[in-house]
Amino acid sequence: MHKRQWALLLTPLFLLLSACAGLREPGTGAPTAGCPACAPCAKCPGVEPAPPAAKPLQPARWEDVQGWADDNLVAAWPAFQQSCRGLAGKPQWPLWRPACDAAKTVDATDNKALRRFFESQFQPFVAVNPDGNREGLVTGYYEPLLTGARSRSENSRFPLHGVPKDLLTIELGDVIPELKGKRVRGRLVGNKVVPYYSRAEIVERERGASAPPVLLWVDDPIELFFLQIQGSGRVRLPSGDMLRVGYADQNGHPYQSIGRVLIERGDLKNGEASMQGIQAWARANPKKLDELLNANPSYVFFRELPSKLGPDEGPLGALGVPLVAERTIAIDPRSIPLGAPVFLSTTLPNSNEPLRRLVMAQDTGGAIKGVVRADFFWGFGAGAGAQAGRMKQGGQMWVLLPPGAAPK
């Protein structure tokens, strides 16, 4: 169908969506906060106008960056080099190229030289929430390992789906410029665009000929669910070969935390709803698992990633480069520039022990919304998963930007 015809067909939908809650963001399709309430009328008697929102990135001094002088920057250097590779050729590259070029002459084994490099090439900016608070939430994620097969078997019975042919991804900015960067997903029924199938509906359709394509069959439904939350992972085949899969698209429905569902139903207490707690409940209640998973209408579709990634390399992030364990974070790109170095000050999972280090903003996620908000990549496997599943810490962030890239 011609693009103009699409525009005429979809304009009523766009106008409706621009005035209602639930617009989906790129990534895993988590909803935005919805339609903002109207601002108080400044002329109404007795009503004070709302204070202006704080600037998200505010100039800081190096001595303000908590733990900067103590970090091992040698460990962060490979991740910074990945950022340079990912930024090369992008529209913002001219602003970053001088620093990336200067990095080629720095001794990567000299911590003092690396610190001088960053202090000479970048300026720190503290991340600030709209209400002026500099404290935010830091969670964790990882690359899980699943067991599966190319063909369905008695053990490998749960499908890992690719992108359905009838899934439409609609860029709202193509018709309404004010909605640039917003998108919705749906399917075409006659001449109308309707919401795409929910998780429960997709599972139901797996029994028929209209099921989404299957990339692989895996052994464990709860591990498959957490793979959808993480966005990427590895699958070990019966031959011993390892395949890597990554996020390809999403059904457009908002993510609903099944941990929250379990808490609200009284099945878990608030402190028990970690990834490990949810997995333990699921294994103890297999007959209730489908009902629990279907409480989350969101569904993620995957693609097989190129085999050129080495076994020691992380999955590809939103910047298009492999993530580096414990030196990469996912951020909200509306507030933090993708590819930027970020100094993160938080604590280890379930601990008061400081975790202060230079990381790179190389990934995004549907649940990562807000200025002072980060998802810390722990790496691959069960050990990384144990750390990621427990991590829900407070933290602060300083974004390092080269001259010209600073916010106006």
Alpha-carbon dihedral sign for residues 236, 242, 243, 247: positive
pLDDT over 90 percentage in the chain: 71
- The answer on pLDDT for 19 being more than 60 is no
> Which of these three, 254, 270, 304, is where a domain ends?
304
Going by pLDDT thresholds of 50, 70 and 90, the confidence category of residue 21 is: very low
**Residues 162-173: what's their mean pLDDT?**
89
Residue-averaged pLDDT of the chain: 87
In a domain? residue 33: no
Helix (H, G, I), strand (E, B) or coil at 271: helix
- The answer on pLDDT for 349 being more than 70 is yes
Verify that 258 and 150 share a domain, yes or no: yes
Going by pLDDT thresholds of 50, 70 and 90, the confidence category of residue 49 is: low
Verify that 155 and 275 share a domain, yes or no: yes
What angle do the packed helices 111-121 and 93-102 form, to 10 degrees?
150
In a domain? residue 35: no
Report the pLDDT value the prediction gives residue 278, as an integer from 0 to 100.
Answer: 93
| Number of domains the chain is built from | 2
Give the tens place of pLDDT for each residue, 300-312. 999 998 777 777 8
Q: Which residues on neighbouring strands pair with residue 140, listed in sequence order?
A: 376
Report the pLDDT value the prediction gives residue 174, as an integer from 0 to 100.
Answer: 81
**Residues 107-117: what's their mean pLDDT?**
97
Boundaries of domain holding 326:
57-141+313-401
Verify that 297 and 204 share a domain, yes or no: yes
> Which of these three, 280, 304, 328, is where a domain ends?
304
Going by pLDDT thresholds of 50, 70 and 90, the confidence category of residue 44 is: low
DSSP string, 285-342: -GGGHHHHHHTS---EEEEEPPTTS-TTS--B-TTSSB--TTTEEE--TTTS-TT-EE
Structure tokens at 137: 């939430």
Question: Which CATH number goes with the domain that contains 151?
Answer: 2.40.240.50
User: How far, rounded to the nearest angstrom, does the alpha carbon of residue 149 sit from its chain's CA centroid?
Assistant: 27
Report the pLDDT value the prediction gives residue 122, as an integer from 0 to 100.
Answer: 97
In a domain? residue 117: yes
**275 vs 94: CA distance, rounded Å:** 42
**249 within 8 A of 301, measured Cβ to Cβ:** yes
> Which of these three, 304, 330, 350, is where a domain ends?
304
Going by pLDDT thresholds of 50, 70 and 90, the confidence category of residue 28 is: very low
Verify that 247 and 317 share a domain, yes or no: no
The C-alpha R_g of the chain, in whole angstroms, comes to 22
pLDDT: is 277 or 45 the higher one? 277
Verify that 103 and 154 share a domain, yes or no: no
**211 within 8 A of 141, measured Cβ to Cβ:** no
Going by pLDDT thresholds of 50, 70 and 90, the confidence category of residue 274 is: confident
Give the tens place of pLDDT for each residue, 180-222. 777 789 999 999 999 999 999 999 988 777 789 999 999 999 9
Question: Which CATH number goes with the domain that contains 384?
Answer: 2.40.40.10
Verify that 276 and 345 share a domain, yes or no: no
